[in-house]
Structure formats: C-alpha cells, structure tokens
Structure 1
Amino acid sequence: MTARTLIGDIGGTNLRLALTNGTSIEAEVRFRTADHPGLESVLDQYLGGLPAPARPTSALLAVAGPVSGDCFSLTNSPWSFSRNAVAERYRWDRFLLMNDFSAVAAALPYLEDEDLETVQAGVQVLTAPKLVLGPGTGLGVGSVVLANGKWTTPGGEGGHVDLPCRDEDEAEIHRMLRRNGPVSAETVLSGPGLAALFNVLAERGGAAIRAGAGEEVMARLVDAECPIAREAMDRFAIFLGAVAANAALTIGARGGVYLTGGVLRHAGEAFREDLFRAHFVGEGRMSEYLSAIPVYRIRHPEPGLFGLRMLARVSSAD
C-alpha cells in the first residue's frame, strides 16, 4: 500500500484530519475541539478507526498558534501538547507542525479559478508574494513567497498587530474596546471580535442589547435587519480592509490578497466588499499601488487541508 501522511488543520473551534499520498485526500473527518480534552483524544479516535495498513507513519499538522520548540498551546483553546511525546506515542518517524495560516498560504499558488471569487480585479504578478487573511475564532494571517523556484511559507502572527485607527470615530471605538485590554486586529476581526464590536456600537448608541458571539450578530443582521448589526458588519469590512492593506504593503503582496475564514463564509453577501475595497485602497500615497493588487475570496471548502496536501506532495518529491 502507498504510504500515507496524516494531515490535520487544528483550529480553536474545529479540527479536520485526513490522509494523503500527495495526490489526493482520503478519510477526512471533522471534530469539534471543545468536544475533546486534547489532541491525543482526537488522534486516538481517528487512528483507531483506520485499518492497520492505512495507518500513517508521518504527520503534518497545522495549528492555530505560534509554533516554536517542543511544547505547543493553541491560542484560542486550552489544548496543549508535546510534539516529541505525540510523535513517540503514534510511532511517527516524521512529525511537522506549522501555523494553520501557513498551511492555507501554501494552497494559494495552486487554487483554480473556480476556487476564487474576485473582490478587486487588479493585475497579478505571478512571482510576487501572496497574502491570506481569515477571520474566524481568531484572525489568521499567512503568506507565501517564491524562493529558489519553490513556494515557501514564512511564519508569523499577523493577527496580533495593533488595530489601525484612521479617524476620530475609529479612535473612539478603539478607546472603548481598550477598556478590556490591548486592542489587536484580532480583537475586532474574528467571531468574538464581531460581537465585541457590536457591543461597543450598541453602548455608544444607547441601546441595551448585547451579543455574546459573532453568530448572534449574524442572526440579528439576517433575521431582524438590526441596524446595529449592520453597522458592526460594515465596520468589520472597513477594519479588515485597513489591516489587509497594511499587511499587503509590508510584504509586497502583488501576487494577490486572499480572504477566507468562518466569519466571511457565514456573512456571505452581508460582507460589504465595496467598503473593504475602499479602505484597502484608501486615499494615501500608496493608493495606486494597492488598487493594482488583486483581492479574492476563497471558495475552496478546505484550503488548509489542500495546502497541507500540496506540502506533502512537495515533501515526498524531495
């Protein structure tokens, strides 16, 4: 039997596991992180359900958090584990960990037209860096650059940069959010962040309603046509445009900016692409530069697993 690699996309809310030989994905299963005490619990269940010949001898996992050293902890979950202990437990001869949005970034050069929806046309420079941002449980940010003829994914934690403020109105929102601690991009550009933004806007407008999660804001927006939910979603698009512009300028993302994540998937057409574009391009000295960068929404259902599959294929060919 052809050797299989275990690949997994481990987020703060959901975890997806599958097997790959580099050319296809098999035995994909989705788990909720909160339903299990730790990674080993999920791996025991998943691997225990495979026939012995199909069990992998190597693994490539993408995790939501900074990867460094042997011990790892998820940023938005109580899970933690030792990389060496996990590899020994399952007798893997090769076990690689990477940031989850590095895995999504690894998929970008291989996405087809049907996997993408154009937000801003632009002019793509095929050999230039590509950037991806994904508001979900947190804010994932990743990039992929071409070096020595190969696409590589430098790590980073771009979701935790400071939230930009471009006018007095945004500064007031920032000040109100800061009462609960430092205000990063993720403070607003995530599911919990959308709820936090809604609550600040409700308070500022003198309304007594509050939201406990981003899903509640979406429900108010879609079902009740709530004006505060509409404003929160509009502000979300504005802030995302500004954060994406800063990141695109930093890495020179003329290969494209890609948007994904659970918040945007659930928002659908409620996400104001026109507001995003206006605040991505802006009115500053670099507006012409930014207006030339193509921006896409990713429609591929599992970009993280797809990126891991492509990495496994490249690795097996080396």
Structure 2
Amino acid sequence: MPISGDEEQGLKFPILIGDVGGTNARFAIVFDANSEPSEPSIVQTASFATIDDAIRSAVLEKKQFKPRSAVIAIAGPVDGDEIPLTNCPWIVRPKAMLAGLGLSDIVILNDFEAQALAVVALDKEHMEKIGGGAPEPNAGRVVLGPGTGLGVAGLIHACGRWIPVPGEGGHMDIGPRTARDYQVFPHIEPIEGRVSGEQILCGRGLVNAYRAIAKADEVTAKMSSPAEITAAALSRSDPVATEALDLFVTCLGRTAGDLALVFKSQGGVFLTGGIAQKIVPALKTGNFRAAFEDKAPHKELLKSVPVYVITHPLPALAGLAAYARTPALFGVETEGRRWRV
C-alpha cells in the first residue's frame, strides 16, 4: 500500500529506474550508491500490453542482476493505486508490480519531476545555451519539453535540498497575439473547444500548426509527420513547413517565458527532449528569445534568464539515478507515491 513520508527510508539496491513516456519507455539498473546506471533498454510502449510486460522483456529476462526496488517516472499525474498515462494506454498498478515483478519497494514519479532532477544531475557539457545571462546558483528553475505531449516541471531550492514541482503545465491555454496568429489559430485543431500548449508544442502539435497554416493560405498540406516538417523547415525547402516551425518556436518561447515568470526562474529554463535537440538551429535564430523576453513589464528580468537545451540523450534516467543513489539531496515527496511489500 502507499506509505507516508515519515516512513521513508532509502531504497534497496539494485534499483530499477524507468522513464515511461507516451511513445518510448527507457529502463536501467543502478547497482549501488557509487555506480552509474547500466546500459539502458529502450522499448516502444505500443509493443507491450502493460508496463509489467515491458519490464520483464527489457530488464528481468536480460539482466543478470535482478532489481529489489524501483523508481519509475511516468508521463501523467500520479494519484491512487491505478495510474493511467496521459498519452499511452498503459495503466500503472504498483501493487500488482510488487507481486508480479519480485520487487519490495516502488516509487512512482511524474516524468518531468525526473527531468527536473536531471537539471541538477547533469554537467554543462550536456547543455547548449540559448541566450540570457549567468544563472543564479540556488534560484528557481523550469524544465519543459515538447515530445509526444508537452511536459512541464519546476525546481526550487529550499532547506538545502532541490525540490521538484510536478504539474500539468502543458495543458495551459495558448492563444494568438499577432495579426498572422489570428489568421492561423482558427484552423488549429482544438481539444474540447480550446487550444492548449499540447495542441501546438509537441510532435502532433507541429503537424497541427503546419495544417493550420496550409488552410489559412488555402494550399495543400503535403506533409504528415513531424520529422518531415522539421527537415523541410530547417532546410527552408517548403514555406509552409518553415512558417510552421517558426510558429512552433515562437509559441515555445512565449510559453517558456510565462513559466519563467511563474517560478522567477533566474536559475534557468531548460528545454528537454528529442524535438528541442533537433531544432537548436531554429531556436537560435532569434524568434525564440524575442518571444521569451516579450513580457512587459518584466522584459529586463526575462532578458537575464538563461535558456538551455539539454543535449544528454536520456536526461530523465540521469535524474532518477541521482535520486536513487542519494535521495536525501532531493526534496521528493513520496507520500501516496511509494508502495512496499
């Protein structure tokens, strides 16, 4: 059953760590407090009926050492004994996992909590700066990442520990500002009558933007995948794709700036995920910083805030490994999110 925070003790090694998104699930094992994670196993969520099946196939049937505990980050809010993922049909059932996978202890976190932990765990060599000044060492930070959806988390420093603040910021409303926006936004596919961040700032969101621009200009939408649109935009070989990526980058800048104001994140804003890594050239063209800083009356504050693209291939696993090794360094709330035999 879930346990309360005052019952918390360190997890027993070896510890299974997992980062489960809408499309892919990534697993590794941390053997002790001084070791790096094992070589990760990456599987597609669509290939398995349940997370339990994926863990058996990717870890238990392949690794010589069997984990005793697990820290798993999932794409969705963690609440109750049956936890659905936002963009994946899996339902995480920790009690069943304890019995079926031979584990004695499971902690379930939000996937962007793990991304927030990674901000502290990773070195500067795994980050590419997109403007702004120097970060303030213990100031608030924000992590956001367009992927299958749009993930968001905050990170604050208090009482000598870094405390991740999970949320569902990717579902905030996003709206038009410029005259061109007002031509395009009526054609963006809404969800239950509104346009949220996830309707633009993720893979399918880029496709939505591309189709909306094509409709606004009464031209044929020739492309159907985010990769195809991104490649055409970066090569500037297709004007609709180019404008779609420009809109994506601008809206990402606006949203990142809004979140920077919420957390007063003078420690930095961190963009994570494969999409951010692929569009670094577009992020550096100026549209992103201009939109990020256009926050009167706090434009000067936003000018000083650094933005980084996390370039590590598996940052969430790095964050989870840091937490698994030394949980006392992080203020991770486990009440109602930890299950033991």
Relative to the length of structure 2, the TM-score reads 0.87
Partner of 2:137: 126
Amino acid at match of 1:17: F
TM-superposed CA distance for 1:313, in Å, is: 1.4
Q: Paired residue for 1:174, among 185, 194, 199? A: 185
Q: Paired residue for 1:9, among 9, 19, 24? A: 19
2:154 matches 1:154? no
Amino acid at match of 1:313: R
2:56 matches 1:47? no
Q: Give the secondary structure class of the aligned counterpart of 1:59.
A: strand
**Which one has more relative contact order, counting CA pairs under 8 Å at least 6 apart?**
2
| Contiguous gaps of at least 5 residues in structure 1 | none
TM-superposed CA distance for 1:10, in Å, is: 0.5
Q: Give the secondary structure class of the aligned counterpart of 1:133.
A: strand
| Contiguous gaps of at least 5 residues in structure 2 | 1-11, 331-341
Partner of 1:298: 310
Deviations 1:73-114 (A, max 9, x none): 111111113121112212322101111111010011232121
Q: What RMSD, in angstroms, separates the aligned Cα atoms of the two structures?
A: 1.9
Bigger proportion of residues as helix: 1
**Could you say if the C-alpha distance between residues 179 and 302 of structure 1 is closer, same or farther in structure 2, counting changes exceeding 3 Å?**
closer
**1:84-233 to 2 correspondence within 5 Å?**
84-177=95-188, 181=192, 182-222=194-234, 225-233=237-245
Separation (CA, whole Å) in 2 of partners of 1:212 and 1:293: 35
Question: Is 2:187–2:215's contact at 8 Å kept on the other side of the alignment?
Answer: no
Question: Is 1:253–1:293's contact at 8 Å kept on the other side of the alignment?
Answer: yes
Separation (CA, whole Å) in 1 of partners of 2:227 and 2:329: 43
Deviations 1:132-176 (A, max 9, x none): 111011111112111210111122111111114323432343322
Q: Paired residue for 2:28, among 13, 18, 22? A: 18
Separation (CA, whole Å) in 1 of partners of 2:223 and 2:91: 29
Aligned residues: 315
State the percentage of identical aligned residues. Answer: 34
Separation (CA, whole Å) in 2 of partners of 1:94 and 1:316: 17
Question: Is 1:67–1:98's contact at 8 Å kept on the other side of the alignment?
Answer: yes
Separation (CA, whole Å) in 1 of partners of 2:282 and 2:261: 27
Amino acid at match of 1:47: L
Partner of 1:30: 42
**Could you say if the C-alpha distance between residues 219 and 120 of structure 1 is closer, same or farther in structure 2, counting changes exceeding 3 Å?**
closer
Question: Is 1:233–1:271's contact at 8 Å kept on the other side of the alignment?
Answer: no
205-214 vs 172-181, greater mean Cα deviation: 172-181
TM-superposed CA distance for 1:34, in Å, is: 1.4
Q: Give the secondary structure class of the aligned counterpart of 1:141.
A: strand
Runs of 4 or more consecutive aligned structure 1 residues displaced over 4 Å after TM superposition? none
Partner of 2:5: none
Partner of 2:85: 74
Separation (CA, whole Å) in 1 of partners of 2:101 and 2:191: 42
169-178 vs 286-295, greater mean Cα deviation: 169-178
Amino acid at match of 1:235: L
**Could you say if the C-alpha distance between residues 300 and 142 of structure 1 is closer, same or farther in structure 2, counting changes exceeding 3 Å?**
same
TM-superposed CA distance for 1:284, in Å, is: 1.4
**Could you say if the C-alpha distance between residues 285 and 317 of structure 1 is closer, same or farther in structure 2, counting changes exceeding 3 Å?**
closer
Q: Give the secondary structure class of the aligned counterpart of 2:108.
A: strand
Separation (CA, whole Å) in 1 of partners of 2:274 and 2:144: 11
TM-superposed CA distance for 1:211, in Å, is: 3.4
**Could you say if the C-alpha distance between residues 224 and 236 of structure 1 is closer, same or farther in structure 2, counting changes exceeding 3 Å?**
closer
Relative to the length of structure 1, the TM-score reads 0.93
Separation (CA, whole Å) in 2 of partners of 1:316 and 1:3: 16
Q: Give the secondary structure class of the aligned counterpart of 1:154.
A: strand
TM-superposed CA distance for 1:28, in Å, is: 1.4
**1:259-270 to 2 correspondence within 5 Å?**
259-270=271-282
Separation (CA, whole Å) in 1 of partners of 2:321 and 2:200: 31
**Could you say if the C-alpha distance between residues 168 and 87 of structure 1 is closer, same or farther in structure 2, counting changes exceeding 3 Å?**
farther
Question: Is 1:237–1:272's contact at 8 Å kept on the other side of the alignment?
Answer: no
Partner of 1:311: 323
TM-superposed CA distance for 1:57, in Å, is: 0.7
2:253 matches 1:241? yes
